[in-house]
Structure 1
Amino acid sequence: MGYQKQRTYQGVPLKKRRWFVFDASGKILGRFASEVCRVLRGRHMPSYTPHADCGEGVIILNASKVVLTGNKRSQKVYRHYSGYMGGLKEIPCEVLFDRHPERILEHAVRGMMPKTKQGRAQLKRMRVFAGGEHNMAGQNPVVLDLG
């Protein structure tokens, strides 16, 4: 037989991670969160390997200016359960958006990440800021525009 066996690329975890800055103003929440998730996991790189942590760091600015489509801002409800009877807490999206707009974006990205050790480690490299300023200048972040 004259065929050649196809080899799989074995990626290695990154030694030096880059940090990227994303501006969330005017972006639709879910579409923006999926792009952030791609960069956190490293899927935007040709050397992506599922078992290796090859993702990069992400800084998100202007989380308070993210757009929710339809009636989600007034109708969506975030729930969490304490584990005790009667411990189901509900907070409307409108209230959460006014108090902590960064938590809405964190919740959306967390839901798209893998629920594994690696996913939790990658999620720690995401910083979300409600305004346009950040305190991560030491990482020398590169501004990235998602279009």
Structure 2
Amino acid sequence: MNKTYIKTQRKKHKWYLIDAKNRNLGRLSTRIAILLKGKKSPEYVPYINSNIHIIIINSQFINITGKKKYQKMYKKHSGRPGGLTVETFTTLNQRMPNKVVEHSVKGMLPKNALGRQLFRQLKVYSNDIHPHRAQKPETITLY
């Protein structure tokens, strides 16, 4: 019997650094989600964590096309009556620029325990300063 099971303890952690300056939100998010899942790896298995960590810098300078800058809405609810809070892209990007990228990538990951684990491996920073220099991240440019 030929089994393709790979132990996660043996896989090394890889760290990648991505600059989000002047990049489109959707295109960047899809490529990040594909990288986090490990789909580009030859030993890809859908149910195993790929141990890939991604650092995104300059998230406040991300682009969005068309009129979505003014029309896109982010909704959250506190669970109380009348607790719906609606915010546009521009106000959320000014207030918390990391949430825009995190919200986009989280929607593209699996909706299960593995997806939550992969989301914790994503680090987003609004400027070009990050505390992960000791991990020696490899800088990549996504097409």
TM-score (norm 2): 0.93
Counterpart-to-counterpart distance in 1, 2:77 and 2:32: 27
Which has the higher mean CA deviation after the structures are superposed, 105-114 or 10-19? 10-19
Counterpart-to-counterpart distance in 2, 1:45 and 1:55: 11
* SS of residue in 1 equivalent to 2:76: strand
Counterpart-to-counterpart distance in 2, 1:107 and 1:32: 13
* SS of residue in 1 equivalent to 2:31: helix
Q: CA deviation at 1:55?
A: 3.9
Counterpart-to-counterpart distance in 2, 1:42 and 1:55: 8
Whether 1:42 aligns to 2:42 is no
How many corresponding residue pairs?
142
**Residue of structure 2 aligned with 1:80, choices 70, 76, 79:** 76
* Identical residues among aligned pairs (%): 31
Give the letter for the 1:57 counterpart: H
Whether 1:26 aligns to 2:22 is yes
Q: Do the aligned partners of 1:29 and 1:67 also contact (CA within 8 Å) in 2?
A: yes
Give the letter for the 2:57 counterpart: L
Q: CA deviation at 1:8?
A: 5.8
User: Which residue does 1:9 correspond to in 2?
Assistant: 4
Structure 1: gaps spanning 5 or more residues:
none
Counterpart-to-counterpart distance in 1, 2:28 and 2:87: 23
* SS of residue in 2 equivalent to 1:11: coil
**Residue of structure 2 aligned with 1:101, choices 90, 97, 100:** 97
* SS of residue in 2 equivalent to 1:112: coil
* SS of residue in 2 equivalent to 1:33: helix
* SS of residue in 2 equivalent to 1:19: strand
Whether 1:63 aligns to 2:22 is no
Q: CA deviation at 1:99?
A: 1.2
